[in-house]
Amino acid sequence: MTWFDGGVHFRPLADDDLAVPPSWWADRSLARDRWRDDETRSAVVVDGGEIVAAGAIWLSRLHEDRFWLEIVVDPERRRRGIGTALTQHLSTLRSRDLPFMARGYVDDESMHFADALGARTIQTVPPARASLDALTELRTHPGVQPLTGADSSRIESAYAELYRWTHETWSPVRAGFETSLAEGLWDELDVEASALAVDESGRIRALALTFRDTDPALIVAETIARNEPEGEHLVEGCIRRAMTILAHRGLTMVDFDGHVSDPHFLPALSRLRPAGRWFRLVEIPAP
């Protein structure tokens, strides 16, 4: 006899479920079934009329190599196979035969669940919170300029190239990703606290984009091409300028978003002696 005997069943996650959700799924990436299209599916597990688990799968608008997987189970019902069964159900809803992908801090319970499903790490994000007092550990570079006044279309194109090559070996972008990447960019970007590095012809060589929709602010930085000469120096210079502006505002801390495989960003980050937790991105085979 399985725990699915009796009144236990799956059904699509509905708007009504989201209106008054259980407290145990707060802050999870959940939305109604097919919230965008057939690439976005969600479901709940119901036992005796009560939701005991919820989950979702979706393809990113930037990538199409794996379905993101989100599973949450009522803490009182965990370790009974409910999450695994829901994963198996969501697997049947996939519009393409692709594996799953999940993310979390290394000590998160969600990562232990992913490991139990056969996860393998495809990318690691290092500790990423740094003191703005450490900015002098980075070198300046004469090619660094403020982002203010730069042509927005050139910035968007440069950012797209940066994003493309930093993901190409482990999560390639999908066709037309540039449109989604640029969507809302200028609403989230702190232009004054962002920087670019250019050569004598004006070609953009590196970026440090500061996003203001987080607390503390978050910086994304790398070169526009993988094999850019002086790459480490360029990235250091861009980050230093961005951090300088934030420090002048009286702020004390900054976060970074990057990967251990980013060859110019990681050395710059290491100079800042960041603190925090390691973060994993994993691939999970579909059942």
Same domain as 166, residue 62: no
Residues 273 and 137 in one domain: yes
Confidence of residue 226 (pLDDT cuts 50, 70, 90): very high
Residues 38 and 143 in one domain: no
Q: How confident is the model at residue 2 (pLDDT cuts 50, 70, 90)?
A: very low
pLDDT attached to residue 26: 81
Give the pairing type, strands 253-256 and 100-105: unpaired
Q: For the chain, what is the domain count?
A: 2
pLDDT at 231 over 80: yes
Listed residues 77, 98, 119: the one ending a domain: 98
DSSP per-residue letters across 202-215 = --EEEEEEEE-SSS
Instruction: Establish if 169 belongs to a structural domain.
Output: yes
How do residues 156-165 score in pLDDT, each as one tens digit? 999 999 999 9
Residues 81 and 139 both lie in one domain: no
CB-CB contact of 33 with 114 (8 Å): no
pLDDT number for residue 7: 66
Interacting residues of 178 by C-beta distance below 8 A, sequence separation 6+? 156, 157, 160
Contacts of 118 (CB under 8 A, 6+ apart): 284, 285
Q: Are residues 88 and 137 in the same domain?
A: no
Residue 6 has pLDDT above 70, yes or no: no
Is residue 87 included in any domain, yes or no? yes
Residue 148, pLDDT above cutoff 50: yes
The predicted model gives 218-238 an average pLDDT of 97
Q: Quick count: other Cβ atoms within 10 Å of Cβ 180?
A: 14
Q: What is the CA radius of gyration of the chain?
A: 21
CATH of the domain at 24: 3.40.630.30
Q: Which domain holds residue 38?
A: 8-98
Which phi and psi (to 5°) does residue 228 adopt? -65, 125
pLDDT band at 5 (very low <50, low <70, confident <90, very high): low
pLDDT tens string 37-85: 999 999 999 998 899 999 999 999 999 999 999 999 999 988 888 999 9
Percentage with pLDDT > 90 across the chain? 89
| Residues 158 and 260 occupy one common structural domain | yes
Cis peptide bond N-terminal to 285, omega within 30: no
Going by their DSSP bridges, the two strands 8-12 and 195-198 should be labelled as: unpaired
Quote the pLDDT of residue 21.
86
Compute the residue count for the chain: 287
Q: Which of 80, 98, 116 is the last residue of a domain?
A: 98
Task: Give percent above pLDDT 70 in the chain.
Answer: 98
pLDDT, greater one: 14 or 48: 14
Q: Which pLDDT does position 124 carry in this prediction? A: 98
Q: Report if residue 117 sits inside a domain.
A: no
What is the band of 1 on the pLDDT scale with cuts at 50, 70, 90?
A: very low
- The answer to whether residues 136 and 270 touch, using CB atoms and an 8 Å cutoff, is no
Say whether both 90 and 143 belong to one domain.
Answer: no
Mean of per-residue pLDDT scores for the chain: 95
pLDDT in tens, 259-285: 999 999 999 999 999 999 999 999 999
Choosing from 98, 120, 140, the residue where a domain stops is: 98
Residue 125 has what pLDDT?
Answer: 97
Q: What is the pLDDT of residue 48?
A: 85
- Angle (CA) 83-95-26 rounded to 5° is 40
Each residue of 173-223: pLDDT tens digit? 999 999 999 999 999 999 999 999 999 999 999 999 999 989 999 999 999
Mean of pLDDT values over 112-120:
97
